[in-house]
């Protein structure tokens, strides 16, 4: 998640590194807490004299992320949209009107209302009726010109008719007739014709309703994203998980998740909203800034030209919290070249008011006694940060990032509790160091930002979307063949307590911004529930896996495949079957039985008891057919059906055989693909 080599942050970083001598470095290395590290660096002449205005000026010069709305550009895009309408290209018109809205200045309410009305016409032609109504509602709320209102009321009435909401349609036709009185620019004849048509419609509708006994309108269709649910009860201390999961702890591995009972493949184990998340800037014009879903009908931020939302609700959440502060600093943050981790680190602050942190600061390091809440900053603050293993260079680098983020907090008005309502004014900003009048804030928020950066290094997750090509006409959507695309970074406090395994027992996918974790294997009571941080034993050799994990997450992996040297998928031996020892005493041994073995009973070399191989083989004889039925269902896009078959196969396998073997991992892999396919995906 790092890209600090691009943008001006690199210049700041180099300036500081070259500008501090060995004594200063030593003094810095001796500091024992994050707050002191940031305050100290902030007070150095090299930071105070770093002129940020040059960098800001470059950002304001335009380019990919403009700093303000642009009426000219908005009008030009609107004209292009109107041209697309002339050509009957309603899809293009929709796109162009949406782009135009992004650049329309907030004060141009009438222009915006016209754009919304125009977009509603495009949506109506594209048969997106609920969205048509939503844009008409927004257009009227913004004061769509009175002399034109007959148009949107009539469109509304006809849209409602398609949706069979006749009672509402009657009101809309009545509104059309009233609005025609104000349509002073409309040709007299046309006006008369529209009035007659609307009256006729009213007559027909009223008669129809009386004959049908005045039925109620159907409920509006709501676009609700699928709501994943935990089955049964949830864990009382960790409500994001099911009660089949508990969090344990030991001195070497820290906290990790285990099963409180036998868990079946397919069970949902965790559903969690992010404590914080931040969208990558390359998706700022295509995906919702708040929940990361794709937005074909965007609602732009009213004050900046860079972000869009999927709904009024997402816009409201963002505007009332983090985006109020971030609105005018986003171009600076994005053009700095800082990684998504930096954006997340500042988002963890901007989403709450200053008072929230001032109030909880003293108790941040005390134990969490009640339920572990996703929105509670304390649960994030206490995630693994490996502060004791950090080098002074690491601290210095991250402290520089914290200083830049701290400066952004000052610029956006966070310390004064007054969100900036205009683009950045250069005359107010000089140095990279925050003004000394904010010394208390430098210490508090500098310390928190530095902690956030450390925590996120080990605990952030990538939010991804599965993208698949539009299916050819007449073909099924084969969603499981999509590409996984990294959209955003996010931190999920409960999921962050799961340790890594090179043979993970879960798969994770997204429903909007919510993460869902599901068992992809049968897990025995007391067994660890392993997440995967990247390398998987079937595809990555042990030495490489361990080296990657050490470098990226700072631990030695001792999962079973690492400890027992399990082979890569390609190297799994297909001449033997790995029978579980069937002894009446529990025995952990695995007996390798050749496929051509003629014996009915084989002796375990560990407990000396005999295992009935024939009985085992009999129980497995249908697995091939069941697996193939599952594969066919999967290819046809019937994921629920396919999953049932794969789960059945895994049950049969687990009763007799012990992994690793190829057919087991084929089945796990297919189950995983089905789960991903029913999660978050979009068609490109």
Ligand X SMILES: C[S@@+](CC[C@H](N)C(=O)[O-])C[C@H]1O[C@@H](n2cnc3c(N)ncnc32)[C@H](O)[C@@H]1O
Q: Which is nearer to ligand X, 384 or 620 (CB)?
A: 384
Among 69, 165, 461, 500, binds ligand X (CB under 6 A): 500
Measured distance CA(306)–CA(301) in Å, rounded:
8
Q: How far is the CB of 455 from ligand X (least distance, A)?
A: 9
Cα angle, residue 431 at apex, residues 34 and 402 outer, rounded to 5°: 25
Kindly identify the residues of this chain, within the stretch 235-254, that bind ligand X according to CB under 6 A: 253-254
Q: Which is nearer to ligand X, 341 or 459 (CB)?
A: 459
Kindly identify the residues of this chain, within the stretch 151-170, that bind ligand X according to CB under 6 A: none
Neighbouring C-beta atoms of residue 477, cutoff 10 Å: 15
Kindly identify the residues of this chain, within the stretch 274-313, that bind ligand X according to CB under 6 A: none
Closest CA to 612 of 582, 576, 577, 578: 582
Among 103, 129, 256, 445, binds ligand X (CB under 6 A): 256
Q: 517 with 268: CB under 8 angstroms?
A: yes
Neighbouring C-beta atoms of residue 428, cutoff 10 Å: 10
Measured distance CA(682)–CA(676) in Å, rounded:
12
SS (H, E, C) 108-119: CHHHHHHHHHHH
Q: Which is nearer to ligand X, 500 or 672 (CB)?
A: 500
Q: Which is nearer to ligand X, 336 or 339 (CB)?
A: 339
Helix (H, G, I), strand (E, B) or coil at 269: strand
Q: How far is the CB of 428 from ligand X (least distance, A)?
A: 40
Among 202, 317, 360, 384, binds ligand X (CB under 6 A): 384
CA Rg value for the chain: 30
Q: Which is nearer to ligand X, 491 or 675 (CB)?
A: 491
Q: Which is nearer to ligand X, 383 or 602 (CB)?
A: 383
Q: How far is the CB of 256 from ligand X (least distance, A)?
A: 6
Q: Which is nearer to ligand X, 248 or 603 (CB)?
A: 248
Q: Which is nearer to ligand X, 125 or 390 (CB)?
A: 390
DSSP 43: T
Q: 148 with 176: CB under 8 angstroms?
A: no
Under rule CB under 6 A, residue 380 binds ligand X: no
Q: Which is nearer to ligand X, 106 or 558 (CB)?
A: 558
Measured distance CA(546)–CA(557) in Å, rounded:
6
Q: How far is the CB of 280 from ligand X (least distance, A)?
A: 21
Q: How far is the CB of 258 from ligand X (least distance, A)?
A: 12
Q: How far is the CB of 522 from ligand X (least distance, A)?
A: 20
Please say whether the dihedral angle defined by the alpha carbons of residues 377, 378, 379 and 383, taken in this order, is positive or negative. positive
CA distances from 433 to 39, 46, 544 (A): 10, 9, 42
Q: 81 with 104: CB under 8 angstroms?
A: no
Q: How far is the CB of 505 from ligand X (least distance, A)?
A: 12
Under rule CB under 6 A, residue 557 binds ligand X: yes
What b/e sequence results for 334-358 when a residue is b if at least 16 CB atoms lie within 10 Å of its CB, and e otherwise? Answer: bbbbbbbbbbbbbbbbbbeebeebe
Q: How far is the CB of 383 from ligand X (least distance, A)?
A: 5
Helix (H, G, I), strand (E, B) or coil at 61: coil
Q: Which is nearer to ligand X, 205 or 557 (CB)?
A: 557
Under rule CB under 6 A, residue 383 binds ligand X: yes
Q: How far is the CB of 493 from ligand X (least distance, A)?
A: 10
Under rule CB under 6 A, residue 499 binds ligand X: yes
Q: Which is nearer to ligand X, 497 or 658 (CB)?
A: 497
Kindly identify the residues of this chain, within the stretch 73-132, that bind ligand X according to CB under 6 A: none
Q: Which is nearer to ligand X, 324 or 380 (CB)?
A: 380
Q: Dihedral angle at the C-alpha atoms of 325, 441, 27, 382, nearest 10 degrees?
A: -80
Q: Which is nearer to ligand X, 255 or 578 (CB)?
A: 255
CA distances from 483 to 69, 534, 536, 634, 665 (A): 34, 16, 18, 17, 21
Kindly identify the residues of this chain, within the stretch 516-555, that bind ligand X according to CB under 6 A: 553-555
Interface with ligand X: number of residues (CB under 6 A) = 18
Bridge partners (DSSP) listed for residue 335: none
Tokens of 318: 């963002």
Under rule CB under 6 A, residue 255 binds ligand X: yes
Q: How far is the CB of 48 from ligand X (least distance, A)?
A: 36
Q: How far is the CB of 484 from ligand X (least distance, A)?
A: 20
Kindly identify the residues of this chain, within the stretch 419-458, that bind ligand X according to CB under 6 A: 458
Under rule CB under 6 A, residue 606 binds ligand X: no
- Preceding omega of 660 cis (within 30 degrees of 0): yes
* Residue spans of beta strands (DSSP E) within 339-449: none
State the residue for tokens 């909401």: 165
Under rule CB under 6 A, residue 610 binds ligand X: no
Among 263, 280, 308, 559, binds ligand X (CB under 6 A): 559
Q: How far is the CB of 496 from ligand X (least distance, A)?
A: 5
SS (H, E, C) 637-684: CCHHHHHHHHHHHHHHHHHHECCCCHHHHHHHHHHHHHHHHHCCEEEC
Q: 210 with 238: CB under 8 angstroms?
A: no
Residue nearest to ligand X (CB): 254
Q: How far is the CB of 247 from ligand X (least distance, A)?
A: 9
Q: Which is nearer to ligand X, 128 or 499 (CB)?
A: 499
Q: Which is nearer to ligand X, 277 or 337 (CB)?
A: 277
Q: 308 with 300: CB under 8 angstroms?
A: yes
Q: How far is the CB of 382 from ligand X (least distance, A)?
A: 8
Q: How far is the CB of 341 from ligand X (least distance, A)?
A: 14
Helix (H, G, I), strand (E, B) or coil at 527: coil
DSSP 62: -
x/- mask, ligand X, residues 458-497, rule CB under 6 A, reads: xx------------------------------------xx
* Residue spans of beta strands (DSSP E) within 586-642: 590-594, 601-603, 610-612
x/- mask, ligand X, residues 566-595, rule CB under 6 A, reads: ------------------------------
Q: In sequence order, what DSSP letters do the residues of 448-486 get, joined into one string?
A: HHHHHHHHHHHHEEEEEEEEEPPPPTT----GGGPEEEE
Name the site residues for ligand X (rule: CB under 6 A).
253-256, 383-384, 458-459, 496-497, 499-500, 553-555, 557-559
């Amino acid at each position: 998640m790092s890209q600090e080599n691009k943008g001006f942050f690199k210049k700041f970083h180099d300036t500081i590194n070259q500008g501090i001598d060995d004594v200063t470095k030593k003094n810095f290395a001796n500091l024992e807490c994050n707050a002191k590290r940031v305050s100290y660096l902030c007070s150095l002449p090299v930071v105070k004299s770093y002129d940020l205005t040059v960098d800001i000026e470059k950002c304001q010069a335009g380019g990919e992320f403009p700093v303000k709305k642009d009426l000219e550009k908005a009008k030009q895009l609107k004209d292009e949209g109107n041209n697309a309408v002339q050509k009957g290209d309603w899809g293009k018109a929709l796109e162009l009107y949406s782009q135009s809205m992004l650049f329309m200045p907030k004060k141009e309410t009438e222009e915006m209302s016209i754009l919304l009305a125009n977009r509603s016409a495009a949506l109506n032609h594209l048969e997106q009726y609920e969205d048509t109504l939503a844009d008409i509602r927004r257009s009227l709320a913004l004061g769509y010109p009175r002399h034109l209102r007959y148009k949107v009321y009539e469109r509304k009435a006809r849209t409602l008719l398609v949706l069979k909401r006749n009672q509402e349609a009657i009101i809309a036709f009545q509104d059309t007739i009233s609005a025609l009185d104000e349509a002073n620019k409309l040709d007299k004849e046309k006006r008369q014709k529209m009035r007659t048509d609307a009256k006729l419609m009213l007559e027909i509708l009223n008669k129809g309703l009386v004959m049908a006994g005045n039925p109620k309108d159907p409920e509006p269709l709501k676009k609700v994203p699928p709501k994943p649910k935990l089955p049964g009860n949830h864990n009382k201390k960790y409500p994001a998980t099911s009660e089949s999961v508990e969090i344990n702890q030991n001195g070497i591995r820290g906290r990790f998740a285990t099963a409180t009972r036998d868990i079946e493949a397919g069970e949902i184990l965790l559903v969690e909203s992010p404590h914080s998340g931040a969208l990558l800037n390359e998706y700022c014009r295509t995906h919702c800034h708040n929940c990361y879903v794709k937005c074909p009908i965007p609602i732009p931020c009213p004050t900046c030209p860079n972000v869009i939302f999927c709904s009024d609700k997402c816009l409201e959440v963002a505007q009332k919290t983090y985006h109020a502060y971030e609105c005018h600093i986003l171009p600076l943050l994005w053009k700095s070249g800082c990684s998504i981790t930096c954006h997340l680190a500042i988002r963890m602050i901007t989403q709450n008011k200053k008072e929230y942190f001032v109030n909880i600061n003293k108790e941040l390091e005390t134990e969490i006694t009640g339920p572990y809440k996703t929105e509670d900053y304390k649960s994030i603050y206490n995630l693994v940060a490996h502060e004791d293993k950090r080098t002074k260079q690491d601290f210095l680098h991250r402290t520089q990032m914290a200083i830049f983020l701290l400066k952004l907090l000052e610029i956006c008005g966070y310390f004064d509790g007054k969100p900036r309502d205009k683009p950045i004014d250069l005359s107010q900003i000089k140095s990279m160091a925050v003004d000394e009048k904010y010394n208390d804030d430098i210490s508090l928020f500098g310390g928190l930002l530095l902690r956030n950066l450390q925590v996120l290094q080990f605990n952030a997750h990538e939010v991804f979307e599965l993208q698949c090509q539009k299916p050819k006409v007449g073909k099924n959507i084969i969603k499981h063949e999509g590409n996984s695309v990294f959209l955003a970074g996010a931190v999920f406090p409960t999921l962050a307590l799961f340790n890594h395994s090179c043979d993970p027992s879960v798969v994770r996918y997204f429903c909007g911004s919510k993460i869902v974790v599901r068992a992809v294997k049968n897990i025995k009571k007391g067994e660890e529930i392993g997440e995967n941080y990247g390398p998987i034993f079937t595809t990555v050799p042990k030495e490489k896996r361990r080296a990657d994990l050490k470098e990226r997450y700072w631990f030695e992996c001792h999962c079973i495949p690492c400890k027992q040297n399990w082979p890569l998928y390609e190297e799994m031996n297909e001449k033997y079957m790995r029978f579980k020892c069937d002894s009446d005493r529990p025995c952990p041994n695995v007996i390798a039985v050749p496929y051509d073995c003629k014996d009915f009973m084989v002796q375990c070399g560990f407990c000396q008891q005999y295992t009935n191989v024939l009985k085992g083989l009999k129980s497995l004889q249908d697995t091939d057919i069941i697996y193939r039925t599952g594969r066919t269902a999967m290819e046809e896009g019937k994921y629920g059906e396919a999953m049932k078959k794969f789960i059945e196969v895994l049950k049969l396998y687990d009763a007799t055989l012990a992994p690793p073997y190829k057919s087991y991992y084929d089945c796990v892999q297919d189950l995983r693909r089905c789960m991903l396919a029913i999660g978050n995906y979009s068609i490109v």
